[in-house]
Chain A
Amino acid sequence: MEIIKCENLQKIYQDNGVPVHALKGINLTINKGEFTVIAGPSGSGKTTLLNLLGALDKPTEGTVYFNGEVLYKKKRRELSRLRLENFGFVFQAYNLIPVLTALENIEFSMMLLGIPEKERREKAITLMEELGIAELANKRPNEMSGGQQQRVAVVRAIVNDPDVVFADEPTANLDSKTGDNLLNLMQEMNEKKQITFIFSSHDKQVMERAKRLLILKDGLLEKDN
């Protein structure tokens, strides 16, 4: 079942007046439950594509559909809601709100949904225990290692039971063992909860895990398998 689709997706940035053609026309369909990696060299447009699919940015040309609806016809407020309820994000770094503890960071998304304090606390603690990071609960981001921060970020991304999690080079700042653990975690979420994962990475370790691997080069899809 198709969940995200894009047609002729193009993005042109203006870099001090110089146009940069970051995406040159991407056609892509992602089905529910996929574990997809978008790979490609640095500068090939991975982040740009992920941001467009995740409604964080607007395309210059082309359309993105989520569950059959056109994303960029929606108002800012509706997009906020969509990100809150249907999407989860894990960025390369600096994912967490520095003044909140790990537990509070995870609770934060649930708070935005209006879930009562007691309920969201219980859910956050349960998830942290399941994923073996319960001991981080009261630590602030600057008291955690990069790997620990990324794990908390993953939990935050999935806590509202989203349909899709976008992860932009989530392992780029991690050593391979930590990266492996993080990938295990996401794979588990994918299998258990049927959450669709879309990664970007130029990391072998990540590509090996992919159920579907897309190669992006110079703003165009080169390979899909």
Chain B
Amino acid sequence: MLLRLAWRNIWRNKRRSLIVIGSVIVGVIATILMDALQNGMIHQMLFNQINLNVSNVQVHKKGFKDKKDINNFISKPAKVETIIKNQPHVKFYSKRVITFGLLSSTDNSSGVYIYGINPSQEKSVSIISKSIVKGKYLDASDGREIVLSKALAKKLNVTIGDKVVGMANTPSGSIGSDVFRVVGIFKTASSEFDKTTVFIPIVSAQQMLNIPGKIHEFAIITDKYENADIVSKALQKKLGKKYEALSYNEILPLLVLQMDLYKQLLIIVNLIIALALIFGIINAMLMAVYERIREIGVLMAVGMKNSKIFSMILIEALIIGVLGTIFGIIFGYGINALLLSGGIDLRWFAESLSSFGVGAIIYPKISLENFIQIITIIPLVSVVGAMYPALKAIRLEPVSAIRYV
């Protein structure tokens, strides 16, 4: 009956209650959309990195992650490969030779990471093969061909068919160099990656660097990206101390840190929204109490305990909060679903976004954290906001309440 009383009380002043519920709905929609956008952007940054070259798990000789020295190669790739092949959750892997070197055209030169890859393996691990804007991707493990980005091609003033010279240190300290013909030009969402990464066939890289049969990295894609940590730990155990098996979490600590920071920011944003809502609720409930002072006096006179009157007012606010939350979530998810189908086109900001490694189209993604925060914070805030008005109500002496007309 208390619930029924509270429910009917809410609808006595429909307009006021709807305004409060509406403000809760708007608040909930705002946090859902903000979260979806922000969280979507961070996830996109992460997945872009994963898809470009980070993959889910990397295996190197110990120390390669911190020092990409030509000498830090895996000397027995076949043995490691067998272990990786037999590891559960591993879906794809690709062998890579990686070194820092200089790429020169007749006009200019640029310091770059030279990736020696096996195209058929690499296609399953990285999106570069799908990011070709001109020409073609590499198609063999050998041959003097190179794929580089549009930005780099512009800097070096080369195009498809032109020749460039690659140069890098060999393990002995001498300089290895070779001439490559540009066969493909790519463009990704990350301008930083584009400026600094080129791809050549793995055998050609081994020849140029004088490390026949050796590689620097296994890039692994797991069945689900959430399994990266399981796989990296298992591999580390099997491979032993001479190797490092790292999940993307360890390879991209800044992005992971950013995700953590974002989660904290989310709490702050939600608390700010909650703070804004609490004043609306205090105000509305105070008005509701003042309007009903006489009636509250009658409730006191017929023997309703203060604690019951107090809870009645809290329940009213709770219902308002819960209704606002439910409809806010429905509308928020609805709007989000509409946006999700096409993504949000931020092409105007593409230039600045690409320096963060984000594409021009953001796909919103609602975080579970936000959902949990919404359904706990908002109803809680409604109840907290009603406490002061409810206290006001029960501080009245019944007679002064009844007199109040």
Contacts and interface: CB of A to CB of B under 8 A. Distances in A.
Interface in B9-51: 9, 12
A57 B399 contact: yes
A102 to B, nearest CB: 14
Contacts of A77: 305-306
Contacts, number: 72
Interface stretch (B71-79, B291-299, B361-369): B291-299
B101 to A, nearest CB: 80
B399 A80 contact: no
A94 B294 contact: yes
A107 B399 contact: no
Interface residues of A, number: 30
Given A91-B402, A97-B5, A100-B8, A80 B298 contact: no
A85 B304 CA distance: 11
Nearest to A90: B301
Interface in B290-338: 294-295, 298-306, 308
Given A56-B398, A57-B397, A107-B1, A99 B9 contact: yes
Interface string A45-59: 000000100101110
Contact of B301 (A58, A81, A83, A111): A83
Given A97-B5, A100-B8, A112 B402 contact: no
Nearest to A105: B302
B261 interface: no
23 contacts: A56-B300, A56-B397, A56-B399, A57-B397, A57-B400, A77-B306, A81-B303, A83-B300, A83-B301, A84-B303, A87-B303, A89-B301, A91-B301, A94-B294, A94-B295, A96-B298, A97-B295, A98-B12, A100-B5, A104-B4, A109-B303, A112-B302, A112-B304
Interface of A: 51, 54, 56-58, 76-77, 80-85, 87, 89, 91, 94-100, 104, 107-109, 111-112, 156
Q: Give the 3 A-B residue pairs with the shortest CB-CB distance, closest first.
A: A84-B303, A99-B8, A57-B399
Given A56-B300, A81-B305, A83-B303, 17 more contacts: A54-B301, A57-B398, A76-B306, A80-B300, A80-B306, A83-B302, A84-B302, A84-B304, A85-B303, A87-B303, A89-B298, A94-B295, A94-B298, A97-B298, A99-B5, A99-B9, A99-B12
